[in-house]
Structure formats: structure tokens, C-alpha cells
Homo-oligomer: A and B are copies of this chain.
């Protein structure tokens, strides 16, 4: 990942994010825009010191902007670019920086044509308000909505305004904001994200503490994320090649310490990796889920193009259902229990066979809050059936909430798949 460096080359620029929207203050939605922007800025080597949320209120927004001007190099706003009279971000920011708004004919044309293509939605004159933009700004086209974003530099501060709806904000962030920030850069900051599954943050940290402490450029920093650990290596240098050359020895050292706990570098997620590996090897997968209740299928099918590798799956929540859909012998369930090594393996084998898939996954366990009187809440068996045999993991995920147990169980299944497909040892049955 190529990145941004403050002109002085040493101190990072400081950014803050101001999100505008009463719906955020009412708790209708979480501020995912601020998260997404922050994640991207961190990769670009820009320090984010504050997030602020204010409602659709010009006085309070003005105060937040004045405060931000006094302490940050970059201000990024989200929201308040819509067509209603509540949407005041452009007016407030332009005023705070002494800029006029002008009517951008090209954006007006785009907005009109957006509505013409969607005949079911009528355009009102309000919609054309969105074509007013601060004089001299760089316009960011909105490819998935009507409100354009923009950027300008004034009073020593870089200001960037983005629309609030998460898909519009995110698309503009990746397509326009990142390139815009890069152009400002006189050097580069590159980073790599090392993704780790199967060990906690504190354990990973203690293994790497000496290495982390010995580094200053590049740096190495751990982040806990959804039951995984991510390690980010970041280098500042004059050119991409230099930065890359500085990072390689660190990547190698981390790999020596963590070995195959690392599932990928610069990979999005375990599910994305699994779908990629399957597609590359021309293999298919199927899943029989009990306690995860369709979450593994959902995560696999979150990846566009999953239909080429995911044959399908069953959610077999009840015992009869395990028999009706998979033909599992009721006496096996009776004898070993629905939450058992044997039933997990049988689920994996039978879904694989039933769908003629190359791989079959079976997951059965206790997500909580109720136990079964035999196993502790958080006990999950994950089985993988494949050409080379049957593999199984017993997880003890504890009572950290139903969502967490389900998510980690599905993650563990995906981790078994990646280990199998890359020829690493997997726990055998």
C-alpha cells in the first residue's frame, strides 16, 4: 500500500474527522464512516487525533470546525451534503474558510442524468442544491449517489468533504480521497498488514515485543480485530522501492516468529482468502452448520463471485433436521450427542457427498446463552472432510457472548480450509 507523508518528512500530519448527522446522535446508526476513513488514514501514515459527531446544526458544526482548524492539518467531514434544508456542511465549511459557493454546471448535469436513469424517483429543485460547491475546490464525483464530495486547501488546512451514506463515503474515499492525499505527499509511507489467526493479541505481542521495541522505521504494531490479530509494518522513505526494501526484513522476522499462524499479508479476511484459494485450485466447498446457523455460508457468500466455489450449505439446527437433510443416523446423535466430534465429522462428510463438493465443513457446538448440561458454553466442534481425510478441531471459546462464539467458530472453519489448501498440518480426526 502506497501512502502519504507529511511534507516535512518526519512528523506525520494530524487529521480529524467531523461527522454531521442527527441520526448518529440519536443512535440510529454507528459511525462506520469515521472507522473506514481512520483505517485508510492509518495505512497512509496520517495520525487521526479526534472524531467528532455533531447534529444538523450550523452553530455547533461551526464551533467544531473552528476547533478543528486550530489543531489539525487535515479536516475530513462526512454527511450533510444531501438535498434537504438540514444539509448544511458545505455552507458552514465554506463560510468558516471564507469561500463562496458556486453552481457547478457539470455536477448539475450529472445529477439530472442520475434521476433520468431512475425514472421511478422524481428529482426536485432541492436536488440541484447539491451542485453548489466551494470556489476553487477539487470536485470528487459520486459514483453511487448524487451528492458530490470535494476538497480544498485554505488557511493552512486541507479540508475534505464526503457524503454520509456509507457506500457513497467509502467509494469516494477509495477512488478520490486516497489519490488526492497521495499527491500532497513528498515522500512515501508504505505499509503491509500481516493477518494472524489462532493466537491472542497479548501472546502475539509478547512473542514480538523485543522486535517491536527495537524498531523505529519501519514500525511494527499489533491490532486486535474480530478475534484475530493484525500486525502492521509501516516504513517511511523517499521512494516505494526504498520503503519496500526496509520492510522486507521485518516481514521475514515476523514470519520466522509466527510461522503458519500468519494466514496472509494484505489479505482482506479469512473468507476472502478461502474463496481465493478455492477458485485458484478449481475446488468447491459446502457447509453443514448447527450453532453457527448459516454464518459460515453468509460470510462465504459475502464475497462477490462466491457462487463459483460455494456449492451450498445446510443449517441443521435440530436433530431431526440433521437426519432429514443429511441422513445422519439418529442413533449416532443419541449415542454421542448433537455436540460431539462424531456428529461434526458426519455433518462434514455428508454435506460434501450430498453436494459433490471437494470440501465439506461441519460445525456443531454451544453458542449460548444456554448450555446442554454436558459441555461448557462455547464448546464447538469444527470438522473438515476432504480428499485427504477428515480433520477436526475442538474449540473452547468461553462464554463471551453468542455472537463472538459463532463468529470465531466460522473463522476457525475458514482457517482449517486455508491450512488444508496450502498444505499445512490440520488437526486430524
Residues on A facing B (Cβ under 8 Å): 23-32, 34-42, 48-55, 57, 60, 64, 67, 144, 167, 223-225, 230, 286-287, 289, 293-298, 300-302, 304-307, 310-318, 320-322, 324-325, 354-356, 368-370, 400-403
Q: Are B48 and A51 in contact (CB under 8 A)?
A: no
Asked if A54 meets B48 with Cβ closer than 8 Å, knowing A39-B27, A225-B29, A315-B297, the reply is: no
- Measured CB to CB, the nearest residue on chain B to A53 is B51
Contacts of A40 in B (CB 8 A): 27
Q: Are A318 and B325 in contact (CB under 8 A)?
A: no
- Measured CB to CB, the nearest residue on chain B to A39 is B27
Give how many copies assemble into the complex: 2
Q: Are A34 and B49 in contact (CB under 8 A)?
A: no
CB distance from A209 to the nearest CB of B (A): 14
Q: Are B317 and A315 in contact (CB under 8 A)?
A: no
Asked if A325 meets B354 with Cβ closer than 8 Å, knowing A223-B23, A313-B314, A318-B311, the reply is: yes
A403 to B167, CA, bound (A): 10
Which one of A34, A35, A37, A144 has the greatest number of beta carbons of chain B within 10 Å? A35
Contacts of A296 in B (CB 8 A): 294
CB distance from A359 to the nearest CB of B (A): 14
Q: Are A320 and B35 in contact (CB under 8 A)?
A: no
A30 to B254, CA, bound (A): 28
CB distance from A51 to the nearest CB of B (A): 4
Contacts of A314 in B (CB 8 A): 312-315, 325
A311 to B314, CA, bound (A): 11
Contacts of A306 in B (CB 8 A): 293, 317
Q: Are B25 and A48 in contact (CB under 8 A)?
A: yes
A311 to B315, CA, bound (A): 9
Q: Are B24 and A51 in contact (CB under 8 A)?
A: yes
Q: Are A35 and B27 in contact (CB under 8 A)?
A: yes
Which one of A34, A36, A322 has the greatest number of beta carbons of chain B within 10 Å? A34
6 extra A-B contacts, CB within 8 A, seeds A305-B370, A312-B317: A27-B48, A28-B225, A287-B315, A302-B403, A304-B370, A324-B354
